[in-house]
A and B are shown apart, each in its own frame.
Chain A
Amino acid sequence: MAVLTAERPKTAARAPKRRRRVSPVLLAFVLVPLLVEGFWVFWPALQGFYLALTNWDGVSAPAFVGFGNFAEMFSDDIFKTAALDTVIWLVLFGGLSAAGGLALATLLQRERRGVGFYRAALFTPVVFSLVATSLIWQVIYQPDGVFNKVLGALGLESWQHSWLADPKTALYAVLVPALWRQVGYVMVLYLAGLKGIDPALYEAAKLDGATAWQQFRNVTWPQLRSVNSVVLSVIIIDSLRSFDVVWSMTKGGPYHSSELLSTYMYATAFQSLRLGYASALAVVIFVLAFGVIVTYLVRAFREDS
């Protein structure tokens, strides 16, 4: 009792200060997620950077090799193929899905009878897992699959092909299902952007006698600025982390012709068990994605302000 009474004045004296202190509940709401994030994201990420400087087979202790893994990339032909394929993928997958998504969105933005059906149909591929999608496309691409049968029916027998087995076509054959899916996703982003444009702008443009192209060029496109930066970030990140569709259809083959940096990283880590080199590859992917996105976003926001 005595202790309690003795303490009372103290706490009373601190009372005004306590009002300024952050409540423990609030503090917990900040700190707990930070700890979780730190433990599950930042710490492993830092470990990844450290592993990139080692040779490690997953069992023995990692051996420190400095920047040896990064130096090896300069003489690694498979790495060069994978990097080149990743650039091709970025340009085609990113470019075509953005262009296709925008085209479809402008086509389907106006409320007409049945337009909901088309929107839903184009968005449907997004809900399927890419692995399931790839399995279906794998069947389509079979030597006696639907695709070759259609070509045969059209009298284009000479075009028939083992699409996934030919190193010349494998990458592009894998690109198609990836695009098939991504276009619907980008379309939805653009549809949302188009909905946000004030119809009065179009009315004014029409009164000024603007053609459809002029309306797009001078009203729609500038209004889509913010959506464009979202779409660009999304497609860059999505193309750099494209993995599942390639892995399930070709595993980067035949003989590394459809290898992306992501599939090469996975194969190096979990097939060849060269975890150090794979971590170095992961660092390269990280730097690429991070670098491109940050550069673009910084520029975009600077122009905005």
Chain B
Amino acid sequence: MTSAGLSRRRFLRNASLAGLGAIGSSSFLAACATSASNGPVKQAAGAVTVQSNLSSPEAKKAIEALAKAFGEKGGATATVNTVASETFRTQLPSYLTAANPPDTYTWYPGSLLSGYARKGLLLDIGDVWQTMDGYSAAFRALSGDGAGHQVFVPTSYYWWGFFYRKSNFAKWGVQPPTNWTEFLALCETLKGKGIAPIGLGAGGNTPWTASAWFDYLNIRINGAPFHRELLAGKQRFDDPRVKKVFDPWRQALPYFDPNGTAIAFQDATTVLLQGRTGMVLTGTFFADAAPKDALGDLDFFQFPILDPAVPVAEEGPTDGFFASARTPHVAEVKEWFSYVATAEAQELYIKNSSGTVLPTNPSAKDTGTPLVQKGRKMLADAKEITQFFNRDSSDALQPTADAALIRFIQKPNELDSILADWQTAAQKVWQS
């Protein structure tokens, strides 16, 4: 519901813990893979169980406040089960195929969602959508299974951009750029001042942050429709059009923080706030890690336009809920969904969370800070909205991008073999 980047970050951090003891023994794998029906599921009578992967303190607090408010309305009640994100993600198939599954789940729209929907595992909530007045066609399309059924309720979304500290830009005497040439000139100026212009936190357990660069360059050069087709397996990663994406990236590479692939995302945030890097391409979730006094000093600019002929698309990852088709509490689940779709519920959530997400309900108010207003306008002006690499493709495809993109950043001259390997790895994922 809040930034999935945040929860992704959390699960990546916890991945090692989840992996503990998951060692080279066939019995382990089989035990895990075949025990689909004995997930720890608590069913309170009449209460909707909300299986949540929002384990960061702020998001957890927010969703619990939401469930509490729902219960106080009278009618159905909801209980939140917070599960570590990595566990949540790996257990999701087990939850959904269980005889007695949790009722609803926090998740995001994308290929995984439509995959489950096609297998008949998700509850059709078309009637909830009839109560959701004013929701944009884009959100409606995003929440469908591709076969005319609505299976998802979007509740919040956020934006990506180049974030920087206003005070640092003022100190260095630089302005946010409006096009690619100005962007490179800005990088050159910062480099001349001994600052690493572009921060990147693709080391440690967060190599996925590099995918933001690929996403943006691809939607700027080849456009959002091509990007979606590529990520859906309808185009190839060794296509000349994909290769073209790496030309501007190569121009920007000399300005990347040389430690960018060595430090994790959280450290990249610290380095940016300390003024050792100039800017970082990231989603708003990164503000959660910033100290409160630095929040007012943060600003962002849009990823520069590379080809004015390509309709402008922006990354606007959306979060929300879906429900299991096997839930015994259909009426209660729909009541919960109708509630979380209201302006009142979304405002309550935003008030309790870190406040950098945007509500999906058009009549709900955001926090109204200048930063949030600017982000909201950027997404509203965009001709197309993309999600993020793993959401437009799948979590299974993400590691193939991580391997390819980190290798490109470190060894840009091996591009041809990188793209060939990427295609091979991606094909295996698509075929399985």
Which A residues fall within an 8 A CB radius of B?
40-41, 44-49, 51-52, 55-60, 77-78, 129, 131, 134-135, 138, 142-144, 162, 164-167, 240-241, 243-244, 247-248, 251, 253-256, 261-262, 265-267, 269-279, 282-283, 285-286, 289
Contact = CB atoms under 8 A, between A and B. Distances in A.
B15 A265 contact: no
B166 to A, nearest CB: 26
Nearest to A242: B23
A48 B15 contact: no
B24 A254 contact: no
Specify which of A144, A164, A254 lies most central, judged by the most chain B CB atoms within 10 Å of its CB.
A254
Given A167-B410, A286-B26, 17 more contacts: A51-B29, A55-B432, A58-B33, A59-B97, A143-B263, A253-B207, A255-B407, A256-B403, A261-B24, A262-B23, A265-B24, A265-B29, A272-B428, A282-B25, A282-B26, A282-B28, A286-B25
How large, as a class, is the contact surface on chain B? 35 or more
Contacts of B96: 59
Contacts of B263: 142-143
Given A142-B262, A266-B19, A279 B432 contact: no
A165 B407 contact: no
B432 A272 contact: yes
A143 B200 CA distance: 14
A58 B93 contact: yes
A58 B30 CA distance: 11
Contact of A247 (B19, B27, B93): B19
A262 B23 CA distance: 6
A279 B207 CA distance: 26
17 contacts: A47-B30, A51-B29, A164-B203, A164-B262, A165-B203, A241-B25, A251-B15, A251-B207, A254-B410, A262-B24, A271-B398, A272-B399, A274-B396, A279-B26, A279-B30, A282-B25, A286-B26
Nearest to B34: A47
Interface in B234-258: 258
Given A267-B399, A271-B399, A162 B406 contact: no
A43 to B, nearest CB: 8
A247 B29 CA distance: 16
The 3 A-B residue pairs with the shortest CB-CB distance, nearest first, are A248-B16, A48-B30, A48-B26
B261 A254 contact: yes
B259 to A, nearest CB: 4
Contacts of B432: 55, 57, 272-274, 276-277
Contacts of B425: 78
A144 B396 CA distance: 33
A49 B33 CA distance: 12
B121 interface: yes
A46 B26 CA distance: 8
B171 interface: no
B24 A253 contact: no
B93 A241 contact: no
Contacts of A40: 31
B26 A49 contact: yes
Nearest to A248: B16
Contacts of B203: 162, 164-165
Contacts of B93: 57-59, 273
A243 B23 contact: yes
Contacts of A274: 396, 428-429, 432
Specify which of A59, A166, A283 lies most central, judged by the most chain B CB atoms within 10 Å of its CB.
A59
B22 interface: yes
Contacts of A167: 410
Contacts of B396: 271-274
Nearest to B22: A266
B201 to A, nearest CB: 12
Contacts of B32: 269
B33 A275 contact: yes
Given A59-B96, A265-B24, A162 B262 contact: yes
B199 to A, nearest CB: 13
B360 interface: no
Nearest to A240: B24
Nearest to B397: A272
A30 to B, nearest CB: 21
A165 B262 contact: yes
A78 B121 CA distance: 33
A46 B31 CA distance: 10
A60 B395 CA distance: 17
Interface in B349-406: 395-396, 398-399, 402-404, 406
A40 B93 CA distance: 21
A271 B395 contact: yes
B22 A243 contact: yes
Contacts of B399: 267, 271-272
